[in-house]
Amino acid sequence: MERIIAVDISGRHRHNSRYVMVCAAVSLSVSGGHVKQIHGVNIKPFVSDTPPEVVDVVQMIERTVEGMEGITIVAEEGDLFNQPEWLSNSMFTASFKYPESLSERMGIEIAHHISLSSRNLLLDPRSWELIKDNL
């Protein structure tokens, strides 16, 4: 069984005049084609006036995975602008790779659903009313 941190970023396109992005990281144990256990989830929002570059994405991922347990960070090639894996890996302080197994892809899919849903909540004015009432 392998321990990884699957990561996804939603919102790398302009919304109104800004880039409202959410990075989700899921620490999980995987084996072959199965997700065995989810150990934790971190979600961090990021806002920028300019489109993110590769270095920005690496910083977003590293800030989101801080404090999580996992041997390797796994993210889709597209999240890092289709850079070669060796180049992306060299930018991270932790071990990094693109998904190779079905279970790693499933972990990224879980992170994707979390990042997209979280971003949609951030952009929905109705959710701010719910949050305000529960503070």
Q: For residue 130, name the pLDDT band (cuts at 50, 70, 90).
A: low
Q: pLDDT of 27-80, one tens digit each? A: 999 998 899 999 999 999 999 999 999 999 999 999 999 999 888 999 999 999
pLDDT at res. 102:
96
- Taken in order 123, 39, 62, 105, the sign of the CA dihedral is negative
Q: What is the pTM of this model?
A: 0.91
Percentage of residues in the chain with pLDDT exceeding 90? 79
Q: Which DSSP string corresponds to 33-47? A: TEEEEEEEEEEEEEE
Sheet holding 95-97, edge to edge: 34-48, 19-31, 2-10, 72-74, 95-97
Q: Dihedral angle at the C-alpha atoms of 96, 8, 113, 71, nearest 10 degrees?
A: 20
pLDDT at res. 124:
86
Q: For residue 106, name the pLDDT band (cuts at 50, 70, 90).
A: very high
